[in-house]
Copies of this chain bind each other. A is one copy, B any other.
Amino acid sequence: MSASPWVRCVALPAPTLRNNTADADRLVAALSQALPASAGAIDLDLDLLRQLPALLRRSDYRLRCTLFGDRGRWILTGISGTDDARPAAGLAVDLGTTRVVLRLIDLATGASLAEHAFDNPQAAVGPDVLTRIHHAESPDGLLHLNALIIDGLNLAIRALCLSAGLQPPDICAVSVAGNTCMTHLFMGLDPRWIIREPYIPVVNRPGVLKAADLGIEAGPFARVRVFPNIGSYFGGDLIAGILYSGLHRGGATAILVDVGTNAEVVLGNRDWLIGCAGAAGPALESGVTRMGMLAGPGVVDRVAIDTATGRFDVHTIEESPPRGICGSGVIDLAAQLFLSGMIDIRGKLVAAACGERLKVVDGLRHLVVVPAEQSASGEDLTISQADLDSLIRSKAAMYTILETLAMTVGVGLGELSRFYVAGTFGCFINPRSAIAIGMLPDLPLERYVPIGNSSLEGAALALTSADAVDEIDCIRDRITYLELNVNQDFMNRFSAAKFLPHTDAARFPSVNAK
């Protein structure tokens, strides 16, 4: 991460009778010299002008200035004497539906000063976007949702600043990436048309706003850059992810998959980008998490089955007694069950292979993953046939979305130079397992690149890279959004993908089931 080009220390020539231009014009002239020749106008807020004469003279005309780029012009968002020991701070925000993550950054060095995460307080209204939008339509519902997230952010900002020895007014620049609904609620914009045909957001390019206008506790001149969205179902979080992955700069075609509350996929290179959101077909994440739980101590995150002995080797987070299973654990488990012959190519439990691990509860087959005597609860930890069927549908939907997107532009999935996987999903799944069940294509493993919270990383880049700001608009304008048309062809491909790893096993040469 490079140092920000937006913190500039300037020494102004002191006024004389021969050089008696105004204070503001003197400052702007010095800053213009310190910026690239192509830089445009530099804007100063009225309240900054009000403080300027005293500040200039107190600091002997030596100033540290923080600038914020906005489409060819610059805004002065922070100013102090060069002897100010406190860093000019920036705040990057990943505004998730479930979880909100903040990072405080020293704008001069690009260094991370502190991170903080909290559950989106709007979850008290409803866990998903749909419930919140309906709530926003009730009297004062939008104000309520807006206040929840703004208050939550301000609490987090105070905590972050405290841990870094700073104060909220030290923050000069904020960068926010979230999905279309979350950014609308953040800005207090009516989201009701997002979920109604023809699915219209209030704004696609929110651009740069004053932190004070949004109610965000930061410096008096601080600005907030809200990442643009492509439409109702393709948000700024994914634009931030593309920015961070570098997909839009690559010579070879690559893909980015972000499985959060929605499954979003972008394919492309420096010449073109095409994206779609996984609203079509069963949502992957619900299939993965329905039977399990979010990662935490005692949650099964890795499973291995000895194909010779049938012995289960179950790993839990913090190696605590097993109490549930998370997404990556389920994918591992399914892959191991398939490779050891305990489920067949349709994902059905094979009685002969499962032996005494197979139990029938309420007429439904279950496989015991952790027997009662080893589990945290003292009860069997099982996976049901219904859970497995759900996983199969989810993995088939994922693969079909990838296949459809690639087909649309005539690219074979095998040609992908990189496969970026974002989010916690990307960090924890074992790509070998995901390939084994045919969820992800059978690429050499080194092409799989987990990129973590790419929404947060992209938001941070927008604060620390001179190029990033221009790239954001460029990415936004270059993406073709593919509306996934769930027609007969799509359903045929989906059906073919419901086998393990696929009806066309030749697509997965590395997968050898027992």
Contacts and interface: CB of A to CB of B under 8 A. Distances in A.
User: Which one of A202, A205, A483 has the highest number of Cβ atoms from chain B below 10 Å of its Cβ?
Assistant: A202
A53 B190 contact: yes
A401 to B, nearest CB: 20
A203 B24 contact: yes
Given A46-B209, A189-B49, A202 B23 contact: yes
A210 to B, nearest CB: 8
Interface stretch (A110-118, A170-178, A193-201, A378-386): A193-201
A192 interface: yes
Contacts of A193: 15, 23, 53
Contact of A46 (B22, B23, B214): B214
B22 A200 contact: yes
Given A16-B198, A71-B41, A187 B49 contact: yes
A25 B198 contact: no
Contact of A202 (B52, B72, B201): B52
B24 A204 contact: yes
30 contacts: A15-B193, A15-B200, A17-B198, A17-B199, A17-B483, A19-B198, A20-B200, A21-B231, A22-B201, A22-B231, A24-B203, A24-B205, A25-B203, A25-B204, A25-B205, A44-B203, A46-B187, A46-B209, A47-B213, A49-B187, A49-B189, A50-B187, A50-B188, A50-B189, A50-B190, A53-B189, A53-B193, A53-B200, A53-B202, A73-B73
Nearest to A224: B46
Chain A to chain B: the 4 pairs with minimum beta-carbon distance, closest first: A24-B203, A22-B204, A22-B201, A20-B198
Given A198-B15, A214-B46, A23 B53 contact: no
A203 B22 contact: yes
Given A46-B187, A50-B188, A201 B15 contact: no
A486 interface: no
A54 interface: yes
Contacts of A43: 207
* Chain copies in complex: 2
Interface in A393-411: none
A21 B190 contact: no
A203 to B, nearest CB: 4
A485 to B, nearest CB: 11
Nearest to A229: B22
Contacts of A21: 200, 204, 231
A483 B204 CA distance: 52
A16 B200 CA distance: 9
Interface in A19-48: 19-25, 41, 43-44, 46-47
A19 B52 CA distance: 47
Contacts of A53: 189-190, 192-193, 200, 202
Interface of A: 15-17, 19-25, 41, 43-44, 46-47, 49-50, 52-54, 71-73, 187-190, 192-193, 197-207, 209-210, 213-214, 229, 231-232, 483
A207 B46 CA distance: 10
Contacts of A198: 15-17, 19-20
A168 B201 CA distance: 31
A41 B41 CA distance: 14
Contacts of A20: 198-200, 231-232
A232 to B, nearest CB: 8
Contacts of A190: 50, 53-54
Given A16-B198, A20-B198, A20-B231, A203 B41 contact: no
Contacts of A72: 72
Given A15-B198, A46-B213, A73-B73, 11 more contacts: A17-B198, A20-B200, A20-B231, A20-B232, A21-B204, A22-B204, A23-B193, A44-B203, A47-B213, A53-B190, A54-B190
A192 B56 CA distance: 14
B202 A22 contact: yes
A52 B198 CA distance: 17
Contact of A17 (B189, B197, B201, B205): B197
A483 B202 CA distance: 54
Nearest to A201: B22
Contacts of A192: 53
A197 B210 CA distance: 36
A422 B197 CA distance: 61
Contacts of A187: 46, 49-50
Nearest to A187: B46
Nearest to A483: B17
Nearest to A20: B198
A486 to B, nearest CB: 14
A25 B232 CA distance: 13
Nearest to A192: B53
A41 B473 CA distance: 13
